[in-house]
Structure 1
């Protein structure tokens, strides 16, 4: 099962409502994935600063005093905003890799959800409505975002097993389906120096796309290569700093629907996830074709 949603805004006046609209789409698909949920929001940022989203099973312990300790360690200012079990730490972009390493040294139990100039990722075990409420997602603004409701079939119900998965700066992926060759691909990517937090096949797909983009492909090109190098059945929705992309495998057995107006592009595993979007009655609605890459960029 599992449910995927995505929303790419063309109309800036909708940006303050991005979190509200995405949250409604996500909760609508609760019965496709009731065990965990997550959302990636692409919001405000600048090239001089980067965000590191972290998660802790013991936030009271791990987040207390972290900003001061981290700032002292990297020799630069670190600001932290705590949201339940997650926190978003902002540091100078020039210090982001040093900050990432320092966080793991200072707080070994903390997990890094995502890193980038504009991305923030929030995901946890529980019903989508509870996850939305926990992180106050309805109040978040941004240019685009993706989300996922999970029904675990091949790995445990854990926070780290929830989607989205991020393996590159400002990049993340959600997935509905199953990959048959993910262990082989994981081994190949490890030889190139990539690391993995889980045994989830979706993390491998995220790493594969990130690797291709790091080697010069744009989002469209990286998604094209999933069709030749990844085996199985899948629908991928990917977010990057500037864009939003969708691809389905050649069989396309997983449900998917898209809608586009002059104000937004939306994706849902089912149409009902899109039904409350403004102007949906006038949208061009279609089912994405198998083996065809769709992507939009600002």
Structure 2
């Protein structure tokens, strides 16, 4: 079943309220996904300081920060924070170099997100408890997404949690299933793209990331996905520049969008939007089948 929420803030005055607003939104989708939860937070400088990169990891060993620092000439310090099952490394370098250093010294670690303005946390368990572990109430920034999972296509573990983030600053959350993901995965592997899991959502995430890397904007990449992927799905994809929603041609997986001059929000249930400031003045609508809706900063 799974639950999705996303909040894109247009008004900088609200940036201090990103975490509290997301925590309240999360309450509206907990029932849809009791297995696990993940979040992506954009713009929180206490988690990813300005001028630094952040890499989120699973299965990170002790002492990783020192080993990674030795792989990065000119980087004086790599900071590490353990948040539940997720370890976050930050350093004054690029996301690509930081991720490559992790792979060099700890190939058993799984990179689950990297960016210059984004941090990802993933884990299994009750979403409310995980929200406390992630310090969601304390989050500040301009954009965030969260996903609560009821597993259907793969095991219940942190690796299978959403968001799936396979490009710099890109996150994808998914409710539904792709019926032809295995054949698309083979096509992507033939192009040299590697996979970390057997999850159908990762195939969608890899496809979108590959299109963005080729120069597509977010709307164009999701339009290409909609044309190629079969199944029943609602997707929310975020980057360090924007926020987009897509549904399949049948639109049987729930989605509600609310647009306000101060923010744009999306959720699987209206009750997750009901407490947003000015919701009674917002344009609230169900996204149409086979359509892509996108917003940028």
User: Could you tell me how far 1:48 is from its partner in structure 2?
Assistant: 4.2
Mapped to 2, the partners of 1:10 and 1:198 lie a distance apart of: 35
In terms of mean alpha carbon deviation, does 138-147 or 69-78 score higher? 69-78
User: Could you tell me how far 1:47 is from its partner in structure 2?
Assistant: 7.8
Mapped to 2, the partners of 1:119 and 1:195 lie a distance apart of: 22
Indicate the residue corresponding to 2:53 in structure 1. Answer: 50
1:67 is aligned to 2:42: no
In terms of mean alpha carbon deviation, does 96-105 or 212-221 score higher? 96-105
Indicate the residue corresponding to 1:295 in structure 2. Answer: 294
User: Could you tell me how far 1:46 is from its partner in structure 2?
Assistant: 7.5
Indicate the residue corresponding to 1:40 in structure 2. Answer: 40
1:202 is aligned to 2:201: yes
Instruction: Check conservation: 1:52, 1:114, Cα contact below 8 A.
Output: yes
Gaps of 5+ in 1: none
Indicate the residue corresponding to 1:168 in structure 2. Answer: 167
Instruction: Check conservation: 2:85, 2:158, Cα contact below 8 A.
Output: no
Indicate the residue corresponding to 1:251 in structure 2. Answer: 250
User: Could you tell me how far 1:217 is from its partner in structure 2?
Assistant: 0.6
Structure 1 residues 46 and 188, CA gap change in structure 2 (3 angstroms): farther
Pairing 1:46-195 to 2, within 5 Å after superposition: 48-56=51-59, 62=61, 64-75=62-73, 76-77=75-76, 78-94=78-94, 96-195=95-194
TM-score, normalised relative to structure 2: 0.93
Q: CA RMSD in A?
A: 1.6
Indicate the residue corresponding to 1:241 in structure 2. Answer: 240
Mapped to 2, the partners of 1:115 and 1:35 lie a distance apart of: 24
Gaps of 5+ in 2: none
Mapped to 1, the partners of 2:228 and 2:274 lie a distance apart of: 35
Match of 2:15, SS state, is helix
CA offsets, 1:63-86, max 9 Å, x none? x43222211222123222332332
Mapped to 2, the partners of 1:174 and 1:227 lie a distance apart of: 15
Indicate the residue corresponding to 2:19 in structure 1. Answer: 19
Instruction: Check conservation: 2:86, 2:123, Cα contact below 8 A.
Output: no
